[in-house]
Amino acid sequence: MPLSSNMAISPRKLRYDVYSYSYQQDSKTPLVISVLASLIERTLARNERIGRKCELSVNRYGSKTRVRVFDCNETPDMTIQSYLERIFRYTRAGPSVYVVAYVYIDRFCRSLPEFRITGRNVHRLLITTIMVASKYVEDMNYRNSYFARVGGITTKEMNTLELEFLFLMNFKMHVNQDSKTPLVISVLASLIERTLARNERIGRKCELSVNRYGSKTRVRVFDCNETPDMTIQSYLERIFRYTRAGPSVYVVAYVYIDRFCRSLPEFRITGRNVHRLLITTIMVASKYVEDMNYRNSYFARVGGITTKEMNTLELEFLFLMNFKMHVNVSVFESYCCHLEREVSIGGGYHIEKTLRCAEEIKMQQREYNQITRITM
């Protein structure tokens, strides 16, 4: 049983613990708003590339209908960033409200896989999830009529959106500690997805490079037969959920990916190789950073591949990297600074720069065992 499954965060504690207020002026918005805007905009861009439309799904009455309640007649002429800043300016909802709203959006899209976030529905979806999240997190809230004015819709529409959203979500509004993933995962996902988009625009393919024996061959060991139907963000969240690797592991994995691409300039990260490259680098980084690790077979199950493939990927990666796995303090901190600059708007976030020692892990294990004995 996971440690967090019996340790839910209360709404009041969540408000103050997830993100701290970091504004120096009244006009300064929390960093989480910029991060959320970036995530939503990337989702919009991806959906536009895919070109898939919102299809049939089941409503609260059990009959098939189109999830059109969030659609506007015309696409609003306001960016996601500006819309979120407007909501913050007039509601002053705490940063944790936006985190919970993001959890709701993710749950909503997972429960309705045919639904796609588009420019016509994203604004109404945001104001609805933020209002519902505010009611869950905050002790004092504005009325629906006020949120309606802030969101640019009528009170009747606001009430309808809230009711439809709650029924489509089956009223599953509770958010426990398991839903909180390190921000470094979102930053890393953003960097990787931008690299993928750039490589797609350039249209350059993975060419010849030198393997561990010195002969020329195609670096195809990381390629899948088909492109996995899972976003980078979701894949990294899955790895974190089942491995609980510390934030520093993802920083070191990012260092390895950068070194790998630099040492093999012909290699290009694509949709077919990115997932295997990520699970390999994270596993190797975990062995470098952490004192206690899972076996290769466990990482293989988490990554969705066989143990034999996992062993092959690790071996090929180590030889192609010439076993240059060491990351000194200055290099580690420079990459941390680079990741922090990616989300520097609003300030207040710093990558964890301390590596967990064996004693800390043992202490966490003892606490876990104690809680398990109490709850059993």
pLDDT of residue 230 exceeding 80: yes
User: Domain for residue 310, yes or no?
Assistant: yes
Above pLDDT 70, what percent of the chain?
A: 73
Range of the domain at 43: 3-177
Distance CA(160)–CA(71), nearest Å, equals 13
Query: Do residues 196 and 336 share a domain?
Result: yes
pLDDT digits (tens, 9 = 90+) for 178-195: 546 777 888 898 889 888
pLDDT of residue 205: 47
CATH code: domain of residue 111: 1.10.472.10
Query: Do residues 75 and 135 share a domain?
Result: yes
| Average confidence (pLDDT) over 165-171 | 90
pLDDT of residue 65: 52
Query: Do residues 187 and 147 share a domain?
Result: no
When pLDDT is cut at 50, 70 and 90, the band that residue 241 belongs to is: confident
The secondary structure of the chain, three-state, reads: CCHHHHCCCCHHHHHHHCCCCCCCCCCCCCHHHHHHHHHHHHHHHHHHHHCCCCCEEECCCCCEEECCCCCCCCCCCCCHHHHHHHHHHHHCCCHHHHHHHHHHHHHHHHHCCCCCCCCCCHHHHHHHHHHHHHHHHCCCCCCHHHHHHHHCCCHHHHHHHHHHHHHHCCCCCCCCHHHCCCHHHHHHHHHHHHHHHHHHHHCCCCCEEECCCCCEEECCCCCCCCCCCCCHHHHHHHHHHHHCCCHHHHHHHHHHHHHHHHHCCCCCCCCCCHHHHHHHHHHHHHHHHCCCCCCHHHHHHHHCCCHHHHHHHHHHHHHHCCCCCCCCHHHHHHHHHHHHHHCCCCCCCCCCCCCCCHHHHHHHHHHHHHHHHHHC
Residues 336 and 187: beta-carbon distance below 8 Å: no
Distance CA(241)–CA(239), nearest Å, equals 6
User: Domain for residue 215, yes or no?
Assistant: yes
End of a domain among 177, 197, 232?
A: 177
Amino acid in the structure at residue 137: V
What value does the mean pLDDT of the chain take?
78
User: Domain for residue 360, yes or no?
Assistant: no
Query: Do residues 80 and 143 share a domain?
Result: yes
- Using the Cα atoms of residue 254, residue 258, residue 263 and residue 264 in order, give the sign of their dihedral: positive
Structure tokens, 16:
């103050």
Query: Do residues 105 and 247 share a domain?
Result: no
Q: Which residue has the higher pLDDT, 91 or 343?
A: 91
User: Domain for residue 368, yes or no?
Assistant: no
Looking up tokens 């690797």, which residue turns up?
Answer: 245
User: Domain for residue 193, yes or no?
Assistant: yes
pLDDT of residue 362: 53
Query: Do residues 170 and 249 share a domain?
Result: no
Residues 161 and 128: beta-carbon distance below 8 Å: yes
Tell the burial category of 326 from Cβ atoms under 10 Å away from its Cβ (0-12, 13-18, 19+).
exposed
Query: Do residues 142 and 197 share a domain?
Result: no
Query: Do residues 244 and 110 share a domain?
Result: no
End of a domain among 111, 144, 177?
A: 177
pLDDT of residue 352: 52
Q: What are phi and psi of 137, to 5 degrees?
A: -90, -45
| Average confidence (pLDDT) over 223-228 | 84
Domains held by the chain: number: 2
pLDDT of residue 336: 86
Query: Do residues 133 and 200 share a domain?
Result: no
Q: How many residues does the chain have?
A: 376
Residues 176 and 5: beta-carbon distance below 8 Å: yes
pLDDT of residue 71: 87
Query: Do residues 170 and 192 share a domain?
Result: no
User: Domain for residue 20, yes or no?
Assistant: yes
Three-point CA angle 363, 351, 324, nearest 5°: 85
Most confident of 19-23, 128-132, 208-212, 361-365: 128-132
Query: Do residues 222 and 142 share a domain?
Result: no
User: Domain for residue 202, yes or no?
Assistant: yes
> How far, in Å, are 15, 86, 141, 303 from residue 27 at the CA level?
20, 11, 21, 43
92 forms bridges with which residues in the sheet? none
User: Domain for residue 371, yes or no?
Assistant: no
Distance CA(180)–CA(106), nearest Å, equals 13
Query: Do residues 113 and 238 share a domain?
Result: no
End of a domain among 133, 159, 177?
A: 177
Which own/partner pairs from 21-28 qualify as long-range (CB within 8 Å, at least 24 positions apart)?
21/94, 21/95, 22/346, 22/347, 22/348, 23/346, 28/346
| Average confidence (pLDDT) over 80-98 | 91
